[in-house]
Amino acid sequence: MNVLIFDSNEKLNEAGANIITGLVQTNPRAVLGLATGGTPVGVYEQIVKDYKRGLVSFRGVTSFNLDEYVGLPVDHPESYRSYMNHHLFRHIDIPAEQTHIPNGNAEDPEAECRRYDELIAEAGQIDLQLLGLGHNGHIGFNEPAHALIRGTHVVDLAEETRRANARFFNSIDEVPKQAMTMGVGTILKAKTILLIVRGADKAEIVHRALTGPITTDCPASLLQTHPHLVVLLDREAGRLMA
Ligand code: PGA
């Protein structure tokens, strides 16, 4: 595990973007696992800057997002498809048909989960999986539980997660109660995992996830077992790790 702590958001964003654009520069057909939420916004901004400066092309890249809300219209501003279009896809040259996000409105959610896993398998291994970290230790929407699920599945969101995400909606009542998420088996199969965490409110969960017992009570603790884990933290999130 390689843990890097940054003094400024700008440096953290540059480091995160450099890892992703560097991979695509050396492997133009890379398969990227992408994340949403507040954490990666600045990294995507920096990637767009790199793209606009002509440093990288995403024409050959395939992407798979971690998750999507169930039952939120795809054109809702808070759907993860809208998020990805807004923050990344519409600003770079990745072909839309090479970008994948689970369909949270599928009539048959079980079939959609299987379809998503098959698409990932057909693309081969995910070269780099970008992850944020929930306050409760979730990765993707794999919430703390007695047992974790390997592949893509529908999950009931923890109240804590709905409360945290209420900031993006008018009220907590509008936050969907379920999501479709890649499972921990798929996440852990990625060749490299890039975990990014920011903010004092995440310092304790970062410390627990990366140094505490490996347990399904804290899904991110499974990342300790990954052979190529890179962790980028701001000073506040890294307070207990220094
Ligand atoms: P955030 O969410 O980036 O919005 O803090 C991270 C997560 O819940 O995985």
Q: 99 with 84: CB under 8 angstroms?
A: yes
> Domains of the chain by range and CATH?
2-234 (3.40.50.1360)
Would you call 75 a catalytic residue per the annotation? no
Which residue has its alpha carbon closest to ligand 1 atom 2? 37
Pocket of ligand 1 (CB under 6 A): 37-39, 132-134, 138
Question: The tokens of 16 are what?
Answer: 């995160």
Question: The tokens of 57 are what?
Answer: 């092309």
| Predicted local confidence at residue 106, as pLDDT | 98
Distances, alpha carbon 49 to alpha carbons 117, 161, 176, 195, in Å: 32, 31, 33, 21
Reference 132, options 191, 178, 84, 199; nearest CA is 199
Would you call 100 a catalytic residue per the annotation? no
| Predicted local confidence at residue 190, as pLDDT | 98
| Predicted local confidence at residue 242, as pLDDT | 75
Angle at the Cα of 151 from the Cα atoms of 148 and 152, rounded to 5 degrees: 105
Q: 126 with 189: CB under 8 angstroms?
A: yes
Q: Report how far residue 65's alpha carbon sits from residue 187's, in angstroms, rounded to the nearest whole number.
A: 11
| Predicted local confidence at residue 175, as pLDDT | 97
Q: Which ligand 1 atom sits nearest the alpha carbon of residue 202?
A: 5
| Predicted local confidence at residue 123, as pLDDT | 97
Q: Which of the residues 50, 68, 112, 138 is marked catalytic?
A: 138
The secondary structure element, H or E, covering residue 122 is helix 109-123
Q: 63 with 23: CB under 8 angstroms?
A: no
Would you call 236 a catalytic residue per the annotation? no
Q: Which ligand 1 atom sits nearest the alpha carbon of residue 165?
A: 4
Q: 1 with 210: CB under 8 angstroms?
A: yes
Low-confidence ranges of the chain (pLDDT < 50): none
| Predicted local confidence at residue 50, as pLDDT | 98
The secondary structure element, H or E, covering residue 68 is strand 67-69
Would you call 143 a catalytic residue per the annotation? yes
